[in-house]
Each structure stands twice: as structure tokens, then as C-alpha cells.
Amino acid sequence: MHDDLVDHLTRSTPLSRGEALRVIQDVLAYFDETTEEYVRRRHRELQGRGLVNADIFEQIAADLAYRTVAPPQPSLRQLRRIIYG
């Protein structure tokens, strides 16, 4: 599945093909969270550190400005509208 990226990583790093594939899969899984999943997970993490909600929400808002999250899954109708307007 991402053969061109695997090839690039094996050429530009000391990673083997299998290692490069695992790195790619780990990175994709990391960024596969939706915004809602990320917010819930991050809230639990920050609560576990003893932060209060006011500080937690401020931190999450700051994090989201730089965090890549998975986009919402478009419906078939939305896909058609992208193509046909």
C-alpha cells in the first residue's frame, strides 16, 4: 500500500523495507483519530495529570491548531457534490 513512500524511506534512511512499512503504519494510525476521538483522549490524559477543565480546554484548543486529525467521512452524496457541484 504506500510503496512509493516505503521506497523513499528505504533510500533515504537506514530502515529496511519492513521497518519503513511499520513506521508508515504507525504514523498513519497516530493521525487516524477524528477530532472528537482526539479531544476525548487528550482530555483524559490531561485530567490524569491533575489539570482542571478550564486549563484542559485551553490546552486542547491550542493543540488542535497544530494537530492533524482524520477528516469526517463524507457521505456518497457529499462525494457526488464534490465531483458534480
Predicted confidence at residue 11, as pLDDT, reads 97
Instruction: Count the neighbouring beta carbons within 10 Å of the beta carbon of residue 79.
Output: 10
For each of the chain's 85 residues, which pLDDT tens digit applies? Answer: 789 999 999 999 999 999 999 999 999 998 888 899 999 999 999 999 999 999 999 999 999 989 888 878 889 998 899 889 8
Phi and psi angles of residue 4, each rounded to the nearest 5 degrees, phi first:
-65, -40
> What burial class does residue 10 get, using C-beta atoms within 10 Å of its C-beta: 0-12 exposed, 13-18 middle, 19+ buried?
middle
Predicted confidence at residue 56, as pLDDT, reads 96
The number of helix segments (H) and strand segments (E) in the chain equals 5, 0
Predicted confidence at residue 71, as pLDDT, reads 79
